[in-house]
Chains A and B, each alone.
Chain A
């Protein structure tokens, strides 16, 4: 994975002054060290990384449009909506990120009759 490669690259930079000397000597490798590296990563940022994020944002936007925002069906499964002990906030029945539209309580959705 690219990130693992970057991680090992970052860790290898531990002997910084030494590696800089070595990298300057091998600067012909173009973009792998010496004086050009910041430029290389700046180019990667604006040509690959940020456009990649933009494409994923576009994908999200398109998918959102074709979504129905229907409530998932409520089935009173005993292995879900566990309430062994009340939560220490509010009335103790709602989780921290409770969303009454999509999170049913153990008896069903709030304010609905089944």
Chain B
């Protein structure tokens, strides 16, 4: 039987990168088809393929790391770099939308009435639901840290409780935001105010949902004894992502909800 003379992971051939790329193609072209020809078939197919790809690719990573032992310290270091680089790219993604917001709001055009908020826009009170949302996300940052320390100290029950609490807070945020979206007196079609507001907060909300899902997977894995007190990088990656989502919200809150009102 052959053994490797190094600590790295030479990954077995996998179809998931290809199916992921095909899914991206189908979703994007499907979106265009939906807009112009009113058929959702292609887009739905792409979405289904995306979900299957994500499930199977990440399932394989869990198998390789947790069950087959391929995630040695150097491999884990590479995964850490990878997650940090990915989150950095997401920071730049949001930076673009903040740029758009400040471009529009620092020098409002005559078409808007030369003021910010533009004429006719009734903004949301930053000290009502947005403040509650801020408290909810900050609290979830505390609970996810409790979860991390619990995992490191081998406190199984506390880890499950704190992780579940974090996810519940995430769901509560999403629920409150959905309510806000429905109750808002302005829409995405209300000029540059509506565009910047809903695109920035909308992508943030999507990231909250993604982060909550990642944490939920970690909860299932914690229950099934995947994590050890020394090795639980999947959880750490989820916690980093969650803190990132929290920080983006803080910037959104200060810029769009508070300063922009």
Contact = CB atoms under 8 A, between A and B. Distances in A.
B181 interface: yes
A83 B145 contact: no
Interface string B185-201: 11111110010000000
A56 interface: yes
Query: Which range holds the interface residue count of chain B?
Result: 35 or more
> Is the contact region of chain B dominated by helix, strand, or loop, or is it mixed?
helix
> Is the contact region of chain A dominated by helix, strand, or loop, or is it mixed?
helix
A99 to B, nearest CB: 5
Interface residues of A, number: 50
Contacts of B150: 38
Given A1-B247, A45-B146, A59 B190 contact: no
Contact of A10 (B35, B189, B190, B239): B239
A57 B169 CA distance: 13
Interface in A6-35: 6-7, 10-11, 13-14, 16-17, 20, 35
16 contacts: A2-B138, A3-B138, A3-B243, A7-B243, A13-B148, A16-B230, A35-B153, A38-B153, A41-B143, A41-B149, A56-B136, A59-B128, A63-B127, A82-B190, A95-B187, A103-B185
Given A45-B139, A56-B131, 9 more contacts: A3-B137, A3-B138, A6-B243, A13-B148, A37-B152, A41-B145, A52-B139, A79-B118, A80-B121
Interface of B: 34-35, 38, 77, 80, 84, 111-113, 118-122, 125, 127-129, 131-132, 134-139, 141-143, 145-146, 148-150, 152-153, 155, 158, 162, 165, 169, 181-191, 194, 230, 236, 239-240, 243-244, 246-247, 250
